[in-house]
Amino acid sequence: MGKIVDKKTSFQLSKSKRKLAVAAVALGTFMSALDSSVVNIALPNISAHFNTNLSTIEWVVMSYLLIISSLLITYGRMGDMYGHKKVYVRGFIIFTLGSFLCGISPNIIILIISRIIQAVGAGMLMSMSSAIITNITPPKERGKSLGIIAVSVSIALATGPVIGGILTSLLGWESIFYINIPIGIFGCFFAEKVIPKSTIIDKQPFDIKGSVLIFASLITILLPLSYTETYGWENPYIITSLIGGVMLLGLFIFVEKKTQYPMMDLTMFKNKLFSMSNLSALLSFIAQFSVVLIMPFYLQQLRGLPPSKAGFLMIPMPLTTMFIAPISGAVSDRIDSRYISALGMAIASFGIYLLSNLKIGSSHSYIAMSLMITGLGTGLFQTPNNSAIMGSVANNRRGIASSILATMRNIGMVLGIAISGAIFSTHQNYLLRTLSTKGLSSNEIKVQAFTGALHLAYTVGSAIAFAAIITSLIKGTTKKVN
């Protein structure tokens, strides 16, 4: 191993200074998460402005998510080697520059390239947040502080479509990018001032081969997954790409085992608390994003609600998560996190099961209640689980641990959309064919096929959430490494 430089513990920060540092991290986390949701609502306007089709315009969103997901682990290693604060502040600078370039883009190609630049900075912000919080916060307060970060993500996801809609309507689609510039400049100086320098620096050569391999493998896996809803799992290009991605991932693991200074310390996964908590996080986001994908179609296509009303009906889930996450984080500082995490996933599983029973005539109160229960479970689970992950690794591995957690979140999002979308589409088509022979009206066939497909997709989502109960319980007692 390389030389470890340990100057002084960041726990010596006063309480007021820690609060400012947490606020700086929450701001960057909020901005990077917001830009993964705020753009969606403006896509029709962007498409009309550049006179481009849907298959091209979706890359405005896809390029952002793919680049973030594929670079998180590389950034985590860089943070451990060069300092978490250094990577985080540079992330603010690159993200702000990318936002400016997005706003002035003269054509769709430049806009997509600018979104890639923006994603490079956003990935730096996302990958360092948990590591910085863990470094500056005493173990007995870690869950509470990580809960604040979870709240910032929930607020971003809940308010993104609303903020994007208002800005696009009043000031044009460019404003959703320009608004980041003053906030980004402020955030950069604020973070530079209040976040202490990393106390643990791992002086090692950078593993370029490992960085290239993990980037290539994740891109090759995530890209086809994002197209399964459109082309199906049986598409030969998707199958070939997935096999290639898995082979590259295997090659990455082989190379890392042979490298003296690897990109990722694979021995971390021998720690059951670390590995099972990350698996639980992956399962949680797969289940959560099955809800996120299908609910808008249920509310708008089947129920005929306008986008604004459908958006408000979906707010109870992230809103409940926002309020519960800090509370569960504070409780996890005193109680073994595996029990809180398992309880959270049990509640989330029940909430998704309730959603699986949605009918065309289900009341708005039933929809809101089911989403609130799902959000309650998610909020109970996330912060204790994140705290367990970050508390289970040594100081000089917190950057890579933070980035692995963020990678699990992003892969979970993609898998949740791919799995639930494929199940829903396949079963809906099957039911449409089957019901057409039953002598039903076209409207009855449509309704029954939709609700039947929704029932199966959400039943699978509930089962995946239930699996996270098991992985949460078997991970072992929380033992925090200071």
Tokens representing residue 71 in the block = 């670079």
DSSP conformation letters of 303-363:
S---HHHHHHHHTHHHHHHHHHHHHHHHHHTTS-HHHHHHHHHHHHHHHHHHHHT--TT--
Read off the pLDDT of residues 434-466 as tens digits, 9 standing for 90 and up. 888 887 888 888 889 999 999 999 999 999 999
pLDDT of amino acid 369: 95
Query: 108-136 vs 15-34: helix axis angle to the nearest 10?
Result: 160
- Residue 209 or 343, more confident: 343
Contact 39, 164 (CB under 8 A): yes
Q: Which residues contact 353 (CB under 8 A, 6 or more apart)?
A: 458, 459, 462
Neighbours of 2 (CB within 10 A): 14
Identify the CATH class of 1-207: mainly alpha
pLDDT of amino acid 453: 92
User: What is the arithmetic mean of pLDDT over 10-20?
Assistant: 70
Side-chain half-sphere of 161: how many Cα atoms within 13 Å?
17
Residue recorded with tokens 């973030």: 68
Asked whether the predicted pLDDT for residue 329 surpasses 70, the reply is: yes
- Which residues belong to CATH 1.20.1250.20 in the chain? 1-207, 267-482
Neighbours of 247 (CB within 10 A): 12
As a whole number of angstroms, the distance between CA 373 and CA 349 comes to: 9
Highest mean pLDDT, choosing among 81-95, 286-300, 353-367: 353-367
Pairing mode, strands 3-6 and 200-203: antiparallel
Place 136 in a pLDDT band, splitting at 50, 70 and 90. Answer: confident
Contact 221, 23 (CB under 8 A): no
pTM assigned to the model = 0.77
Specify the CATH number of the domain 267-482: 1.20.1250.20
User: What is the arithmetic mean of pLDDT over 250-276?
Assistant: 81
- Residue 471 or 151, more confident: 471
Rounded to 10 degrees, the C-alpha dihedral 100/164/325/373 comes to -150
Asked whether the predicted pLDDT for residue 306 surpasses 90, the reply is: no
Asked whether the predicted pLDDT for residue 130 surpasses 70, the reply is: yes
Read off the pLDDT of residues 50-77 as tens digits, 9 standing for 90 and up. 888 766 777 887 788 788 877 877 887 7
Q: Cα 134 to chain center, whole Å?
A: 19
pLDDT of amino acid 38: 75
Asked whether the predicted pLDDT for residue 5 surpasses 50, the reply is: no
User: What is the arithmetic mean of pLDDT over 362-379?
Assistant: 93
Mean pLDDT rounded to a whole number for the chain = 81
User: What is the arithmetic mean of pLDDT over 268-294?
Assistant: 87
Query: Residue 6 — φ and ψ, nearest 5°?
Result: -125, 105
As a whole number of angstroms, the distance between CA 311 and CA 322 comes to: 17
Asked whether the predicted pLDDT for residue 203 surpasses 70, the reply is: no
Contact 480, 139 (CB under 8 A): yes
pLDDT of amino acid 3: 45
Tokens representing residue 63 in the block = 């390029």
Read off the pLDDT of residues 80-90 as tens digits, 9 standing for 90 and up. 777 888 888 99
Place 272 in a pLDDT band, splitting at 50, 70 and 90. Answer: confident
As a whole number of angstroms, the distance between CA 289 and CA 295 comes to: 10
